[in-house]
Amino acid sequence: MSYLGPFHILSYGTLLGAQIYQSFIGGTTAYKALPRPQFSALQNKLFPIYFSLQSALPLALALTFPGKFGTSDLSSVYGVLADENRYAVLLPLVSVSVAGLINMFYLTPKVGRVIKERFQQESIDGKKAYDSPPHSQKMTELNKRFGKLHGLSSLLNMGALIATIAYGVYLGGRLH
């Protein structure tokens, strides 16, 4: 296939749709509807898929970038590297991909370790991490560490969403 424009648009739509759905619809609905253990189990299954999409789809977008005159073929990847596209194309796509990779390979494992430590501490304390205070000093520290890691992950995710929207605005401006 020498014309990859449809793949580009579908990749962009999948990326933006997944980000909006996970951030504002699926995640928040599951949090409200499920007990914490089931919510956690669901997120543990969804996050690897989500962060994989967030990491890989920007690469697909770069490889199918609409080059000169709106055409899109494999040679148009050089258009991504052109001076005029470095900030409008390359910066947002790299930002989204890097955010997904950081979440997938750094933050998710760290959060997982904290969650396991909290489960262990719950059995020692006889109290859930999310029960109302007071908590043991160790549980308070674990909850604080979880909150920081979760907050950083959420911040990266929102930054990636903003970068995806910025790229979409640029892409939309190229439509004739």
> pLDDT grade, residue 174 (50/70/90)?
confident
Residue in the block written with tokens 């904290």 = 114
C-alpha 167/C-alpha 176 separation (Å) is 17
Total domain count, the chain: 1
Tell me phi and psi for residue 145, to 5 degrees: -65, -45
Is the confidence at residue 164, as pLDDT, over 60?
yes
pLDDT of residue 2: 59
- Identify each DSSP E strand in 2-137 by its residue range: none
**53-76 pLDDT, tens digit each:** 999 999 999 888 886 545 555 555
Pair 113, 98: CB distance under 8 Å: no
The domain in which residue 83 lies consists of: 3-174
Helix (H) or strand (E) holding 148, with range, is helix 137-173
C-alpha 133/C-alpha 124 separation (Å) is 16
Residues in CB range of 111: below 8 A, 6 or more apart: 146, 149, 150, 153
- What's this model's pTM, rounded to 2 decimal places? 0.89
- Closest residue by Cα to residue 117 from 149, 91, 152: 149
**Mean of the per-residue pLDDT values of the chain:** 91
pLDDT of residue 70: 52
